[in-house]
Amino acid sequence: MKKKLIIFDMDGTIYLGANLLDGAKECFDYLWDNNIEYVFFTNNSSHDLDFYYNKIKNFGIKCDRVKNFYSSTEVAIAHLKKCGYKKLFVVANKSLKDKLVNDFELITKYDGNTKIDCVLAGFSTELVYQELRDACLYLQTQDCDFIATNGDFRCPIEDGLYIPDCGGMIEWMRLCTNKKATVMGKPNPEIIEYLADQFNVPMEDVLVVGDRIYTDILVGVNAKVDSVMVLSGETTMEDLKNYDYRPTYILDSIKSLKDLLK
Ligand SMILES: [Mg+2]
């Protein structure tokens, strides 16, 4: 299989928590040596891209901070700008809020008078109840938009364990307000089109690689590009029975990817 651009998930695909998966470094060396472009794309909006750049670089993988790193945050910000929004109420980590302050006014409390354009939710590891409460009050009292960076229910960490992610947070808000967030990260196919365009590569030369069926693989299905599911993270062969779509290829881990690309 010949591809020109590979879009990689990180958590569960390249590493698990602090541990690089076996064969990952050799895989990226192969891509580098064979001029196959790669991008690290994460739905995880709890860290900024410098965090991922440093993590990947410290694993000894060749990468460029600007060229190779994208997250659902960039896609969400591009969308908010396109909509012409000015005032936001944001439930997310400080790192995401810091990114937004240049382009938007961030409202930090519900007061019953201030009109906002949008409630934005991101994976928050700094979540406080007051934020969730105020976001839900805005969603019930105003005809504002409701956007989420990602819809992942949980994020894999070390030892086969998970921590709650943005998908659960927006589900909690939906149960309170009856409003459903529009999700910007994977599986929204706009990401693949955006990246193919950035690298000037036709869609048929794009491959997505990830460990989660309902985000990493579904984004490939939605964008009609080939996908590889690795079994090193969240989704198991057993789980596949619950979905009516399939990855193009299934591998035990990233270790076997370079054989597939030869
Ligand atoms: Mg993953």
142 assigned to some structural domain:
yes
Are residues 72 and 166 in contact, defined by beta-carbon separation less than 8 angstroms? no
Whole-angstrom distance, CA of residue 185 vs CA of residue 44 = 9
Domain membership of residue 129 (yes or no) is yes
Distance (angstroms) between ligand 1 centre and the Cα of 172 equals 22
Say how many Å lie between the CA of residue 156 and the centre of ligand 1.
7
Question: Where is the domain boundary, 183, 199, 234?
Answer: 183
Note whether 134 and 218 are same-domain residues: no
Mean pLDDT across the chain: 94
Q: φ and ψ at 129, to 5 degrees?
A: -60, -40
Query: In this structure, which amino acid lies at residue 191?
Result: I
pTM of the predicted protein model = 0.78
Within a 13 Å sphere around the CA of 211, how many CA atoms are in the beta-carbon half?
23
Asked if pLDDT for residue 208 goes beyond 80, the answer is yes
Question: Pairing between strand 15-16 and 19-20?
Answer: antiparallel
Q: What is the pLDDT of residues 110-132, one digit of tens each?
A: 998 999 999 999 999 999 999 99
Residue 202: is the preceding peptide bond cis (ω within 30°)?
no
- Is 65 contained in some domain? no
What's the CA-to-centroid distance between 4 and ligand 1, angstroms? Answer: 22
Residue carrying the six token digits 């976001």: 135
State which residues form the domain around 129: 83-183
In a domain, 254, yes or no: yes
Distance 229 CA to ligand 1 centre (A): 10
Report how many domains make up the chain: 2
> What pLDDT shows up at residue 131?
96
